[in-house]
DNA sequence: GTCTATACAGAGATAGAC
DNA sequence: GTCTATCTCTGTATAGAC
């Protein structure tokens, strides 16, 4: 049966279904046929809209990163919160939550999804670095931060935060996380060149 | 034509050929049939030795990481060199060189090899962390380093060094590298809690 | 234990008709 | 825009030779 739809509608349908499947079954475990069955289209239609399964992945990741960046942006502009806390919260909030469901995020990283992870890291760094550059510049101007390589430091912090909050690259036990988070915060402080302990109230959340 | 070889010999043959192909053509672009043609065996033989193409990849990466760790170990035990320099050199030397050929390493990262990269990172961290833990403990005992989360800090340094020296995750221009390396060194110093400038002679190499 | 040969299911991707 | 048919590749599973 042939049902014709307007291009953008069809495209969004494919993206929605694919995202749901990638996130629940994993990227590699999801076949193009799985997607076809649910969207109820033929293979040729799929490849009319996307050149490859990977292109679908890239589009989805762009959406996910954009959603995270929007949350981070909101947090960073609330000047009533101390700067260093805003930065930390922005990094945490940027992590994909998928409508608040933690279970789905866990699924995302349980499975073997090297491609998804790598593409996500790359895209996220590109999108988030400029946001944090502004925030760090604010801290430098206010004499809160003291550092010589802001751009490199931001990239490092984002990368480490990603490994910590989003990534399955280290197979840590739940019990190890408090130490990992405290270590991350301590090193973030040192790299930014803040007076030590500036983040103390934050640290107590993980004590 | 049937040539019988002792198991370990055949296994090594497959690994050698696969490594060459993965590195020159990329993991995804290399088919099992490519390997078969060169080793001159049947498909059944390949799957007699390995359960999957990915299992071959894991074996190769284990070898590569082991070679890097051996180089790092050598460097770390030469007590005539200042500790912080040894650590920096070990991190650089650990990076896969494949018999000294930089071209091949470039190939390795040019292609789309998420699985190879991720598995490498994981394996490398597992192997290298204990080595650096010893070195950092040496520094702490000598009152050179001052840090509260040695393990987390080592993981961070290795991860960042990997991103810098081995990884194609950031698409940096050649001209950006000096700043990236200097930034990395500065942050490494800060995380380890050395007196600033301890690495100054090292930094001049990239000035 | 080691190897060949081959057939086959299911994956991603393409070509061309409508 | 959509479809069907077809291609290549991975990986499984044979049956059997030495």
pLDDT at site B98 = 46
pTM for this one? 0.88
Q: Do A151 and B179 touch (CB under 8 A)?
A: yes
Residue A191 forms contact with B (CB below 8 Å): yes
Calculate mean pLDDT across residues B163-168.
Answer: 78
Q: What are B46-74's pLDDT values in tens digits?
A: 999 998 888 898 888 899 899 999 999 99
Residues 47-106 of A with CB under 7 A from strand D: 47-49
C1' nearest to CA of B32: which nucleotide? Answer: D10
DSSP secondary structure letter of residue B207: -
In this complex, is the C-beta atom of A160 within 8 Å of any C-beta atom belonging to chain B?
yes
Helices (H), B102-176: 102-110, 114-141, 150-165
Domains contained in chain B, CATH given: 62-206 (1.10.357.10)
Chain centroid to CA B40: 30
Chain B contact for A188 (CB, 8 A cutoff):
no
Average pLDDT, chain A: 87
Q: How far is CA A185 from CA A104, B37, B86, B148, B183, in A?
A: 26, 52, 26, 11, 19
Instruction: Measure A35 CA to nearest chain B CA, in Å.
Output: 22
* Burial grade of B14 (CB within 10 A; 0-12, 13-18, 19 or more): buried
Q: What sections of B26-82 are H helices per DSSP?
A: 32-39, 43-49, 53-76
pLDDT at A118: 82
Chain C bases closer than 7 A to any CB of the protein: 1-7, 10-17
Distance separating alpha carbons of residues A116 and A167, to the nearest angstrom: 11
Predicted confidence (pLDDT) per residue in B166-199, tens digit: 776 777 888 988 899 999 999 999 999 997 555 5
CA B44 to C1' D14, whole Å? 10
Best of B150, B151, B152, B177 to mutate (most A CBs within 10 Å, chain A)? B152
Å from the A1 CA to the D4 C1': 12
* Strand C neighbors by CB, 7 A: A 30-33, 43-44, 47, 51-54; B 1-7, 10, 40-45, 48-49
Could you report the per-residue pLDDT of A96-127, keeping only the tens digit for each?
864 555 555 555 555 567 777 888 888 999 99
Question: A151 touching B, CB under 8 A?
Answer: yes
pLDDT single digits (tens) B19-52: 888 888 788 788 898 899 899 899 889 999 998 8
A114 touches chain B (CB under 8 A): yes
Per-residue pLDDT of chain A (207 residues; tens, 9 = 90+): 667 777 789 999 999 999 999 988 888 889 999 999 999 999 999 999 999 999 999 999 999 999 999 999 999 999 999 999 999 999 999 988 645 555 555 555 555 677 778 888 889 999 999 999 999 999 999 999 999 999 999 999 999 999 888 776 777 888 988 899 999 999 999 999 997 555 566 656 655
């Amino acid at each position: 049966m042939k049902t014709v739809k307007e291009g953008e509608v069809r495209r969004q349908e494919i993206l929605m279904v694919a995202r749901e499947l990638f996130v629940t079954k994993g990227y590699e475990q999801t076949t193009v046929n799985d997607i076809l069955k649910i969207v109820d289209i033929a293979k040729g239609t799929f490849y009319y809209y996307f050149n490859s399964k990977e292109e679908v992945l890239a589009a989805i990741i762009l959406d996910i990163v954009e959603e995270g960046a929007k949350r981070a942006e909101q947090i960073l502009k609330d000047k009533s919160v101390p700067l260093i806390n805003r930065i930390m919260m922005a990094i945490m909030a940027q992590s994909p939550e998928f409508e608040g469901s933690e279970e789905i995020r866990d699924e995302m990283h349980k499975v073997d999804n090297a491609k998804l992870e790598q593409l996500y890291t790359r895209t996220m760094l590109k999108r988030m670095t400029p946001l944090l550059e502004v925030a760090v510049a604010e801290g430098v101007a206010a004499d809160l931060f003291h550092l010589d390589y802001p751009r490199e430091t931001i990239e490092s912090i984002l990368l480490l935060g990603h490994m910590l909050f989003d990534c399955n690259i280290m197979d840590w036990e739940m019990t190890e996380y408090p130490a990992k988070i405290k270590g991350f915060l301590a090193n973030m402080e040192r790299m930014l060149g803040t007076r030590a302990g500036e983040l103390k109230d934050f640290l107590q959340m993980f004590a």
